[in-house]
Amino acid sequence: MVTSIPISLYIHIPWCLKKCGYCDFYSYVSKTTIPEKKYIDNLLKDFEQDLSLVGNREINTIFIGGGTPSLLKNESIEYLLNSIKKRSIVSNVAEITIEANPKILEYQKFVNYKKCGINRFSIGIQTFNSNLLKKIERTYDFLEAIYSIQESKKNNCNLNLDLMYGLPDQLLENAILDLQYAIKYHPAHISWYQLTIEPNTPFYAKNIKLPDENMIFQMFSEGDQLLRKSGYNKYEISSYSKLNYQCQHNLNYWNFGDYIGIGCGAHGKITQDNGQIIRTVKNKNIHDFLNGHYLNKMHVVSKKDKIFEYFMNVLRLYKPVFKKHFRETTNINEIYIEKKIQIAVQEGFLIDTTDYWDTTKKGKFFLNSLLEIFLK
């Protein structure tokens, strides 16, 4: 049943104070006043068009990302969320997250976020080291990062901190110190991921050098141990949480759930009653979007791509993959992939039982190699 597949809503706010050299997300540095009212009105029209693909399914999580959503006025965020709730069914216990930049956070913002129903804050710290912050072209310093955490903790216990390791000129002690600072403030969730330089970014063009593989592995190994010893459970490749504080929105992605994506460059995945999965990609040109041109591409996912996308998501999680779940979310019987599973088992990547598949330690370490089996 399609209604048994959870559905989320992602809202993209594309503006930033500054475009970081490593960022490959759709974002714009606003040189004039942000057209908040016009953008939100178009977001809502974009949302209304997607609702025709969703029916009356209940939205379980909302994630306001970017860009830097906290650049918007508090009343704009409140209006946006109230308008979403008027147009759709949003769960009374929905997890609602907003991403924020330490540079523009103060106590009153968090108070207002909480009043309009936001119950999870995600702050993009990346590193506490002021020198490294300059190297990766962030707009704040150590003190501003600490201040943003302190202010958020006054209002909400469900706080995520984004941290990166493997930064240019970062030493092992720098990476561990970042985690120690974060742990000191007891956030409910820490996203700790390796910096990778993507094509079509300024850092890629400049050929920015990162620490070597041995150093990066050492950062990961020691940092992983520290997080686990400090009471954080690793439930996904780069996600650690305290008990009952996993990010429900991201879990829905990784469990191959459905999601509506609205705003410039947003992606969506919506399962239809006939078992087909529709992918949507929204227009990333802000001028076109503000003129009512929302949809860039929409296509039905092929059987082959559906299998690959399923495993690309679920194998990120540190838990077994149940065959019943595979059948229900892909509308494909596991017999169809039996040969691929056998290859993965022979390679030592997977364990195959009657009810589920589980990734071995080798499979987690060579996840890309495991995924290639499902791609072929």
Q: Which residues of 302-322 are buried (b: 16+ CB within 10 A; e: fewer)?
A: eeeebbbbbbbbbbbbeeebe
Q: 268 in a domain, yes or no?
A: no
Q: 120 in a domain, yes or no?
A: yes
Beta-sheet pairing, 15-16 with 7-13: unpaired
Q: How far apart are CA 232 and CA 256, in angstroms?
A: 24
Alpha helices in 270-337 (DSSP H): 286-290, 303-314, 323-330
CATH of residue 106's domain is 3.20.20.70
Examine the domain organization and report whether 351 and 225 are in the same domain.
no
Indicate the length of the chain as a whole number.
Answer: 376
Task: Tell me which residue range forms the domain holding 67.
Answer: 2-252
Q: 284 in a domain, yes or no?
A: no
Examine the domain organization and report whether 198 and 343 are in the same domain.
no
Examine the domain organization and report whether 73 and 173 are in the same domain.
yes
Q: Which amino acid is at 373?
A: I
Q: Mind listing the pLDDT tens digit of every residue in the chain (376 residues)? A: 566 799 999 999 999 877 676 676 666 666 568 899 999 999 999 999 999 999 899 999 999 998 889 889 999 999 999 999 999 999 999 999 999 988 877 668 888 899 999 999 999 999 999 999 999 988 899 999 999 999 898 888 899 999 999 999 999 999 999 999 999 999 999 999 999 888 878 787 888 899 999 999 999 999 999 999 999 999 999 999 999 999 999 999 999 999 999 999 999 999 999 999 999 999 999 999 999 999 999 999 999 999 999 999 999 999 999 999 999 999 999 999 999 999 999 999 999 999 999 999 999 989 999 999 998 8
Q: How far apart are CA 181 and CA 351, in angstroms?
A: 38
Q: How far apart are CA 158 and CA 119, in angstroms?
A: 7
Confidence (pTM): 0.94
Examine the domain organization and report whether 36 and 135 are in the same domain.
yes
Where does a domain end: 197, 231, 252?
252
Q: How many domains are there within the chain?
A: 2
Examine the domain organization and report whether 107 and 208 are in the same domain.
yes
Q: 166 in a domain, yes or no?
A: yes
In Å, how far from its chain's centre is CA 273?
27
* Of 304, 296, 224, 278, the residue nearest 55 (C-alpha): 278
Where does a domain end: 216, 237, 252?
252
Q: CA-CA distances (angstroms) from residue 98 to 198, 241, 283?
A: 25, 17, 22
Q: 272 in a domain, yes or no?
A: no
